[in-house]
Amino acid sequence: MDDPRDISPSRPAWSFFKRLLFRFGFCYLLLYNLPFPLDSIPWAGPLISQACQSAVWDKLVPWAGKLLFGLNIKIRPGGSGDTTYNYVQLLLFVVIAAAAAAVWTVLDRKRREYRRLYAGLRVYVRFALAAAMLGYGAYKVIPSQFALPFPSQLVEPFGEASPMGLLWTFMGASSAYTIFAGAGEMLGGLLLCFRRTALAGALVSAGVMSQVVILNFSYDVPVKLYSSHLLAMAVFLVVPDARRLLNLLVLNRPVEPAAAAPPPPAWRRRRLALAVQVVLVAAFSGYLLYQSYDASKEWGNLSERPSLYGVWTVEELVSDGRSIMAYSSDTWARAMPSSASVS
């Protein structure tokens, strides 16, 4: 942290409200994204995330739900991210962040600004958002999140499909659009990984996530909380440049360069750091693409299909050597052989 006595005319003090808001935002964003980056470690990440979930939140959330609302929370987060568990957990994030900010304000009341800590928070949020964008994008660039519709979906009456099922079907029906959507997410994630392109990455991510959020709310997809937070993080990264963007894109006014960053290290160290960063980002992206490819081979577009895979109209049924005419109203009038991995 900065020395609270290090106040110069070039670094004016923040208002009390701004400092308080920063403390709360810092605590909340840290709480929400932890255990990142540990949960992004290839292969070990899911185990670390599950261990943290079991050790902390699986104990705290049911207790808080029972104490505050008389709820008996038994369903833990799985494929859905909008369960009662998640809403109670979100309330705990707010309460804990507010309490931490209050204690922080009392203990650190002499500090006048948090520019360095704010810069560090932006870097943390950048990479947390980048990891999420790359993950979701990889599972679309190699279509596994939205696979081609299965036979059971193709013959289901339109009116019987759930809103989410309808969304999954129309996304999966066009691999080209799914890949395009995933490429946009991965582009935003990749741009976020580098300081010079971070603003462009935040803008791309905000645009892509705006569509994702409205789809989730419109088709009742239970990832509303998570997608809304990803959008909020993208907006958080854009806000410091909002005035410059407004002048450039809307008001047609001159735009000054962004505030200069601290002097960079020697060019050899800078190039080495950039090379290491490029290798790590490429390796992480490759790992995510491999995971998507593996999932697609297991149950998606690349999975093996039986020779009779598809939708077949039964014209004749033979039982005990007797031929029985099939009618469209009979339950066996259509056959849909599929692989064992398709459900």
* Among candidate residues 234, 239, 229, the one with its CA nearest the CA of residue 94: 229
> To which residue do tokens 């050790």 refer?
55
Which pTM value belongs to this model?
0.86
Question: 313-324 burial, b if ≥16 CB within 10 A, otherwise e?
Answer: eeeeeeeeeeee
Q: Kindly report the CA angle at 216 between 219 and 223, in degrees rounded to 5?
A: 125
CB 195 within 8 A of CB 260: no
Amino acid symbol at 221: V
Give the per-residue pLDDT at 7.
Answer: 43
Neighbours of 160 (CB within 10 A): 7
Between CA 211 and CA 222 the distance in angstroms is 15
User: In this structure, what are the phi and psi dihedrals at residue 323, rounded to the nearest 5 degrees?
Assistant: -85, 130
Give the per-residue pLDDT at 1.
Answer: 38
Q: Concatenated DSSP letters for 187-201?
A: HHHHHHTSGGGHHHH
Between CA 175 and CA 146 the distance in angstroms is 8
Helix (H, G, I), strand (E, B) or coil at 335: strand
Give the per-residue pLDDT at 333.
Answer: 56
Give the per-residue pLDDT at 132.
Answer: 96
Say which DSSP state 232 is in: H
Give the per-residue pLDDT at 22.
Answer: 97
Measured between alpha carbons, how far is residue 297 from residues 150, 184, 289, 292, 323 in Å? 15, 23, 12, 9, 39
User: Which run of H or of E encompasses 322?
Assistant: strand 322-325
Residues β-bridged to residue 313: 334
Between CA 309 and CA 154 the distance in angstroms is 13
Q: Is 60 exposed, middle or buried (0-12, 13-18, 19+ CB in 10 A)?
A: middle
pLDDT (tens, 9 = 90+) of the chain, 343 residues, equals 343 434 444 578 999 999 999 999 999 999 999 999 998 888 888 888 888 888 889 999 999 999 999 999 888 777 678 999 999 999 999 999 999 999 999 999 889 999 999 999 999 999 999 999 999 999 999 999 998 888 888 888 888 889 999 999 999 999 999 999 999 999 999 999 999 999 999 999 999 999 999 999 999 999 999 999 999 999 999 999 999 999 999 998 988 887 766 666 676 777 888 899 999 999 999 999 999 999 998 888 888 888 778 777 777 777 777 776 655 555 455 655 554 333 3
Give the per-residue pLDDT at 263.
Answer: 61
Give the per-residue pLDDT at 334.
Answer: 60
